[in-house]
Amino acid sequence: MTALLSLDGVGKQFGSTEVLRSVTMELGEHQVMSLIGPSGCGKSTLLRCVNALEPIDAGVIRIAGERVSGPGVDLNRLRREVGIVFQSYNLFPHMTVLDNITLAPRRVLGWSRAEAEATAEQLLRRIGLWDKAREYPDRLSGGQQQRAAIARALAMGPRLLLLDEITSALDPELVGEVLSIVRELAAEGMTMVLATHEMTFARDVSDIVCFLADGSICESGPPDVVLRDPQQERTQAFLRRILQAQRI
Amino acid sequence: MTVTKAGHSDQPQRAPGPAAAAPASGGSPAALPGRQPWPYLALLIPPTGIPAVRKHLAARRAARTGDSFAARALAAEAATWSWYSAALAFTLLLVAFAVLFLTANDHAVIQKFFNPGVLRSSAPAVLRGFLVNVELFLIAEVLVLPWALFVACLRMLPGPASRPIRALGIGYVDLFRGLPAVVAIYLIAFGFPIAGLPVLGSMTGFELCVLALVLIYGAYVSEVFRAGLQSVHWSQAAAARSLGLSYVQTLRHVIAPQAIRRMIPPLLNDFIGLQKDTALVSFVGLLDAFNQSRIVASNEFNLSAVTGVGIAFVLITIPTARLVDRLTARDARRRQGSLA
């Protein structure tokens, strides 16, 4: 069986800086991959490239065997299959939570308002935000906004969900409510790639952990190996720093 | 002089900083209760002066009985009332100057600027002229919107291929923002007919003036559009595109609705400018309100008709100005997040 997501020698440059160097990886359906690594190592860029928000300069990205990078690709179709949730939520501030969620299904998939709202209601009830459906995003807490953003991405029924440090902008006491949704999604078999700094969570939820450094994959494997018994010196140093920071 | 009996000599009871700079006409900075004579000056403005003095006296009494806490509170109140007096005194002073100006030289200013007889007799002609101004700015405002949007789009075309088109847009905006409006109107309304251009040369003076105003204000308004669209953070576009919305859908459902709210106040500001600048067409011979009033002014040797035009222009821009204020305030509230 072909992998749902595969990257083959993906490279990306911003001007003269190389942010991704020959990244190669595979992710099967129903698997969860965590990208860890120091700030600026290319985690976010990698996710943005998979969703074609950034064009890549080298290599190929495939989804279910189909090339989705390079010229001549139907980006709008790709993005229907791949959802992304951002660190800063990026909800549309001029729309209610409900409209945020129904916009894309209605405009892109051509659903009727009633159909889209039925799906949205289901999603919102599930994440416990149905009572906030008619509110505008700025009336919600950060955690609620991020949950709504996840619902917005899920409303398109993506096969692959990208989560870009979705708890980094949250107050510590709000992190749990967002992560528990991700945990549920993983349990249901949603294929996900998440960039994260929450090591414990990464260990619990993922099938593969990738440690990125300077734009390339330094070490990858099952979480028990990469997070508990890392082979690479840079991984060890990174995890040591994280542990120290947590102790403080 | 005396230290308060409460014995807080180490803590002179001064009001907060700015009060110390109170103008003499206003009153007390309410330092040590029982020492400052200034509140009595506030009596020049009785409605606020009387409370000022009463609070001041009460503060002194409180200080004498040793209740320094109440004394400070009362002194602060006395200072507030003194400030009211100072502000009122200042305002009255300026009003008095204005009245003096209007009545000086045996009411010369009132006679020459606000002569009721001339105002009344010139009103029909001036109002007829003003209709020309209103027509000019209404038509120009309607035409400016699509034209400016078009120019803004030219300037925002992406990619290296559209570089010459973008340059053209920049050149146009630079030219018509830099050119004085009166010069542009003069050149277009007089120049096109003289040059005998096809179509353009056979347009009426009114039409050429509309054209000139649209070209001038199109440059300003296109910048308002451009700035508005670019003020929406790129992450909004990223979020919309990531959901599969096309470029045009993103613009229509996500970027434009957010941008328009921010564009309306500066847009209305430009419209106020446009309304006023319609008076410039009198320089190319159009019989607008200003031109009509100038005829009256030279016949009567009295400027009241021109004042009347001024009043008409001010009155017609006030609703727009208030609307801008309200929208700006609403925007500020929204940014603070107190309004959804």
Which among A48, A79, A136 is the nearest to B243, CB-wise?
A: A79
The mean pLDDT of B322-326, rounded to a whole number, is 86
Res B22 pLDDT > 60: no
Give me the torsion for CA of B113, B119, B124, B130, rounded to 10°. Answer: 30
| Least-confidence region, from B15-29, B112-126, B305-319 | B15-29
Q: Give pLDDT, residue B12.
A: 39
Chain B residues with CB-CB distance to A80 below 8 A: 244
CA atoms of B322 and B186, how far apart (whole Å)? 32
Query: What does pLDDT average to in each consecutive run of 10 residues of chain A (248 residues)?
Result: 87 90 93 91 91 91 89 84 93 94 94 95 94 93 94 94 92 89 93 92 92 91 90 90 81
**With contact defined as beta carbons under 8 Å apart, do B203 and B284 qualify?**
no
CA atoms of B38 and B214, how far apart (whole Å)? 59
Res B17 pLDDT > 60: no
Q: Which amino acid is at B44?
A: L
Q: In terms of DSSP H, where are the helices of chain B?
A: 46-64, 68-113, 116-156, 163-178, 181-195, 205-231, 234-242, 247-249, 256-277, 289-300, 304-336
Closest CA in chain A for residue B249: A107
User: Domain extents for chain A?
Assistant: 5-247
Q: Across all residues in chain B, what is the average pLDDT?
A: 83
Chain A residues with CB-CB distance to B243 below 8 A: 79, 83, 103-104, 108, 152-153, 156
Interchain contact A157–B (C-beta under 8 A): no
User: Domain extents for chain B?
Assistant: 17-112, 122-336
Interchain contact A135–B (C-beta under 8 A): yes
The band of B26, judged by pLDDT with boundaries at 50, 70 and 90, is: very low
Name the token pair of A194. Answer: 């998440």
Closest CA in chain A for residue B260: A94
Interface test with B, best of A49, A73, A76, A80 (most B CBs within 10 A): A76
CA atoms of B263 and B257, how far apart (whole Å)? 10
Does B337 sit within 8 Å of A90, measured CB to CB?
no
Q: Give pLDDT, residue A134.
A: 94
Res B201 pLDDT > 90: no
**With contact defined as beta carbons under 8 Å apart, do A248 and A48 qualify?**
no
The band of B334, judged by pLDDT with boundaries at 50, 70 and 90, is: low
Model confidence over B97-110: pLDDT tens digits? 999 988 888 888 88
Model confidence over B34-69: pLDDT tens digits? 455 566 777 778 888 888 889 888 988 988 888 888
Name the token pair of B338. Answer: 């107190």
Chain A residues with CB-CB distance to B249 below 8 A: 107-108
**With contact defined as beta carbons under 8 Å apart, do A7 and A24 qualify?**
yes
Q: Give pLDDT, residue B133.
A: 93
What percent of chain B is modeled with pLDDT above 90? 38
Q: Give pLDDT, residue B301.
A: 87
CATH, domain range A5-247:
3.40.50.300
B86-104 per-residue burial string, b: 16 or more CB within 10 A, e: under 16: bebbeeeeeeeeeeeeeee
Closest CA in chain B for residue A84: B242
Which among B244, B258, B337 is the nearest to A76, CB-wise?
A: B244
Q: Give pLDDT, residue A66.
A: 87
Its ipTM equals: 0.90
Interchain contact A136–B (C-beta under 8 A): yes
**With contact defined as beta carbons under 8 Å apart, do A6 and A27 qualify?**
yes
Closest CA in chain B for residue A106: B245
Q: Give pLDDT, residue B107.
A: 81
Does B261 sit within 8 Å of A138, measured CB to CB?
no
A77 or B338, greater pLDDT: A77
Closest CA in chain B for residue A103: B253
The mean pLDDT of B199-214, rounded to a whole number, is 89
Distance (Å) from the alpha carbon of A79 to chain B's nearest alpha carbon: 5
Chain A residues with CB-CB distance to B244 below 8 A: 76-77, 79-80, 104, 108, 156
Chain A residues with CB-CB distance to B336 below 8 A: none
CA atoms of B34 and B62, how far apart (whole Å)? 9
Chain B residues with CB-CB distance to A107 below 8 A: 245, 249, 253
Name the token pair of B328. Answer: 């700006």
Which among A76, A104, A139 is the nearest to B340, CB-wise?
A: A139
A238 or B15, greater pLDDT: A238
The band of B15, judged by pLDDT with boundaries at 50, 70 and 90, is: very low
**With contact defined as beta carbons under 8 Å apart, do A108 and A76 qualify?**
yes
CA atoms of A75 and B205, how far apart (whole Å)? 52
Report the 10 Å Cβ neighbour count for A210.
24
CA atoms of B46 and B214, how far apart (whole Å)? 55
Which among B239, B245, B337 is the nearest to A86, CB-wise?
A: B239
- The domain at B122-336 falls in which architecture? Orthogonal Bundle (1.10)
Q: Which amino acid is at A65?
A: G
Does A91 sit within 8 Å of B244, measured CB to CB?
no
Name the token pair of B305. Answer: 């008709």
CA atoms of B33 and B182, how far apart (whole Å)? 62
Res B4 pLDDT > 60: no
Antiparallel, parallel or unpaired: β A17-27 and A160-164: unpaired
Interchain contact A152–B (C-beta under 8 A): yes
Report the 10 Å Cβ neighbour count for A177.
17
CA atoms of B33 and A76, how far apart (whole Å)? 75
Model confidence over B33-42: pLDDT tens digits? 445 556 677 7
Q: Give pLDDT, residue A60.
A: 93
Among A215, A164, A162, A214, CA closest to A190 = A162
Residue B167 carries which DSSP code? Answer: H
Which among A107, A138, A153 is the nearest to B253, CB-wise?
A: A107
CA atoms of B218 and A142, how far apart (whole Å)? 41
Interchain contact A104–B (C-beta under 8 A): yes
B19 or B263, greater pLDDT: B263
**Side-chain half-sphere of B108: how many Cα atoms within 13 Å?**
5
Q: Give pLDDT, residue B37.
A: 57
pTM for this prediction:
0.73
